[in-house]
A = this chain, B = another copy of it.
Amino acid sequence: MDRAGTAEKILDVAESLARHGGYGGFSFRDLASAVGIKSASVHYHFPTKEALGVAMTQRYNDRFLDSLGDPRDSRSVAEKRQAFIAGFRAALVEENLMCLCGVLGAESASLPQPVAAAARGFFERTRDWLLEALETDPALGDAKAREVAALELVARLEGAMIMAQSLQDVSVFDRVAASG
């Protein structure tokens, strides 16, 4: 245990803090003290906050997409949809945190451009995953209908997470997620 290098630990803590209070909501000192080092040591691993923000977001995106599995595997469309919803639910309920890119997306206009671009990548990749997963859905014949269905599901889950947090009621997420 504890085999993770310092850079990984920094990304773990940075992600937690950013999913709590956004990109502007954590400082190198918060971060360093939670990791157990000094803020100067954080700069050794990530030269700037912007570089840390990009690395953190890319790692989040990769991990989330990975957890969904192959959108073209043998699972049914319903199973894939449920796996997608479960990914968001786990972020909210098991980790008790927001979706990183939901938070970053909300403050997107004020982020350093490379961080905003990394957050944008989350929405492009999740949309594309759903586009492939929904390809065999008989209720969604053409590509346009599939794209709207994909965008709509991501939007609904992101909004539901924010409302569940603000209203302090996880059932808000569950009821909205099941309303598709």
**Residues of A bordering B, CB below 8 Å:** 20-22, 24-25, 98, 101-110, 116, 119-120, 123-124, 147-149, 151-152, 154-160, 162-163, 165-168, 172, 175-176, 179
Contacts and interface: CB of A to CB of B under 8 A. Distances in A.
B105 A107 contact: no
A20 B110 contact: yes
Contacts of A109: 20-21, 98, 165
B24 A106 contact: no
A154 B167 CA distance: 13
Q: Is the interface of A mostly helix, strand, loop or mixed?
A: helix
A159 B166 contact: no
Contacts of A106: 22, 98, 102-103, 106-107, 162, 165
Given A123-B163, A152-B176, 16 more contacts: A21-B109, A25-B107, A102-B159, A102-B162, A104-B166, A106-B106, A106-B107, A106-B162, A107-B107, A120-B166, A120-B168, A151-B176, A155-B158, A155-B159, A155-B160, A155-B163
A151 to B, nearest CB: 5
Nearest to A157: B159
Contacts of A156: 152, 155-156, 159
A103 B108 CA distance: 10
Contacts of A120: 166-168
